């Protein structure tokens, strides 16, 4: 599977979520064949063709892609180290870039067992006190654990235990950086931390970055697991965080992610996507999008998830208004739950275009 940057240790748990993906697809969505003469033409809107979509990122990060190209071409880690050293510790961008480098190394190793991702091993060996290297290594191990989860429980737990050790080392190297603790949240999910242990870990996260959207998303998955918490507990966590979020924070969209996480259990309800629960969560996410900074690194993540819900709700014009902002990149939920994120995204985009035009919409209306 290609590099799925966002939540590659969480949303990327394909082996775990694959059954749910299949159930989601059975929820009644009518697939439009892009080649069908009845399908509207996305080219009229300046949208990229399916084969041109970048599945690595939810939105543009030119610096990251340039550095990643250098690292993978030369197998020299120094450009990655320099980029992370210049990325603020408490923001979302650093966490996403750590995810990206770890994802690249993980994919390389998957493609070339025993040889791929050598630059990460060299980085750790040659710069043992580099906090960026430790963070990427910890995230890499989390991803490797989830890759091995279908092989055996012993390997899965052994790798996660090693990841926890590296998280502790990363925290020692950068005490004020929330990233090691955010990575450990994924470890907590895999190892089944008890509530007290999780609460202690969560306190370390919010002490450093109380509005960290990525951390809240990982915590939401932990709380939603049947052996950790419950759907009600996860929903309470999401709505409480949204209610406490300062204006401009994308945490107001967290309830929509909670609804999405539990959709497989309740999607068979008649008119689910028009229900009060969904409508309220969608309105909260739309409010978050409209009030967020245009350069918020998590904005694209919320827009991608909104597309799914707005299309399912047949709110075509609103779906199109999100698509014009995100088209070109599809490395985000919900598309990354599919084996072919670009194809999954294209289906929803074509549905949005078709519904928009069937109700009188035109490309000129969006440009205006």
Could you give the domains of the chain? 1-58+230-368 (no CATH), 61-212 (1.25.40.10)
For the stretch 159-171, pLDDT in tens is 999 999 999 999 9
- Span 336-347, mean pLDDT? 94
* 326 Cα distance to chain centroid: 14
Alpha carbon distance 221, 168 (integer Å): 22
Q: CA-to-CA distance for 105 and 101, rounded, in angstroms? A: 6
Q: How many residues does the chain have?
A: 368
Higher pLDDT, 248 or 21: 248
Do the Cβ atoms of 214 and 95 come closer than 8 Å?
Answer: yes
Tokens of 158: 């052994």
Asked if 310 and 30 count as a contact pair (C-beta separation under 8 A), the reply is: no
Top pLDDT among 125 and 22 is at 125
Whole-number percent of the chain with pLDDT over 70: 85
DSSP readout, 108-135? HHHHSTTTTTHHHHHHHHH-TT-HHHHH
- CB neighbour class for 231 (10 Å; exposed up to 12, middle 13-18, buried from 19): middle
Q: Tell which residue, 41, 48, 52, 25, has the closest CA to residue 356.
A: 41
pLDDT digits (tens, 9 = 90+) for 206-251: 999 999 999 999 999 888 775 556 788 889 999 999 999 998 999 9
Number of H helices, E strands in the chain: 17, 0
Span 52-69, pLDDT tens digits: 999 889 999 999 999 999
For residue 329, list its beta bridge partners: 54
SS3 per residue for 12-42: CCHHHHHHHHHHHHCCCCCCCCCCCCCCCCH
Is the distance from CB of 185 to CB of 215 less than 8 angstroms?
yes
- Residue of higher predicted confidence among 285 and 275: 285
Q: How does DSSP assign 204-238, residue by residue? A: HHHHH-TT-HHHHHHHHHHHHSTTT--HHHHHHHH
Average predicted confidence (pLDDT) for the chain: 86
As a whole number, mean pLDDT of residues 175-197 equals 93
Paired tokens of 113? 């067992």
Tell whether the model's pLDDT for residue 32 goes beyond 60.
no
């Amino acid at each position: 599977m290609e590099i799925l940057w966002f939540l590659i240790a969480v949303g990327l748990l394909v082996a775990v979520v694959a059954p749910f993906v299949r159930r989601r697809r059975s929820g009644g969505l009518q697939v439009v064949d892009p080649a069908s003469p009845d399908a509207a033409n996305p080219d009229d809107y300046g949208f990229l063709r399916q084969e041109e979509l970048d599945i690595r990122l939810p939105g543009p990060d030119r610096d990251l892609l340039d550095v990643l190209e250098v690292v993978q071409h030369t197998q020299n880690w120094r450009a990655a180290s320099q980029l992370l050293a210049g990325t603020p510790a408490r923001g979302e961008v650093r966490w996403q870039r750590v995810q990206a480098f770890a994802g690249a190394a993980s994919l390389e190793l998957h493609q070339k067992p025993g040889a791929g991702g050598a630059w990460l091993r060299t980085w750790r060996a040659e710069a043992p006190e580099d906090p960026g290297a430790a963070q990427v290594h910890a995230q890499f191990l989390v991803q490797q654990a989830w890759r091995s989860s279908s092989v055996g429980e012993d390997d899965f737990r052994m790798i996660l235990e090693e990841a926890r050790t590296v998280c502790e080392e990363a925290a020692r190297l950068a005490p004020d950086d929330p990233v090691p603790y955010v990575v450990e949240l994924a470890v907590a999910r895999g190892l089944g931390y008890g509530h007290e242990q999780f609460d202690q870990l969560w306190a370390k996260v919010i002490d450093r970055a109380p509005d960290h959207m990525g951390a809240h998303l990982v915590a939401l998955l932990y709380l939603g697991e049947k052996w950790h918490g419950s759907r009600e507990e996860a929903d309470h966590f999401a709505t409480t965080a949204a209610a406490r979020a300062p204006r401009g924070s994308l945490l107001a969209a967290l309830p929509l992610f909670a609804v999405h996480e539990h959709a497989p259990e309740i999607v068979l309800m008649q008119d689910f996507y028009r229900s009060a629960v969904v409508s309220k969560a969608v309105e909260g996410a739309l409010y978050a999008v409209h009030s967020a900074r245009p350069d918020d690194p998590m904005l694209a993540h919320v827009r991608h998830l909104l597309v799914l819900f707005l299309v399912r709700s047949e709110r075509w014009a609103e779906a199109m208004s999100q698509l014009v902002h995100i088209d070109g990149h599809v490395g985000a939920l919900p598309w990354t739950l599919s084996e072919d994120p670009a194809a999954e995204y294209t289906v929803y985009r074509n549905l949005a275009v078709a519904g928009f035009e069937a109700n009188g919409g035109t490309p000129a209306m969006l440009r205006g």
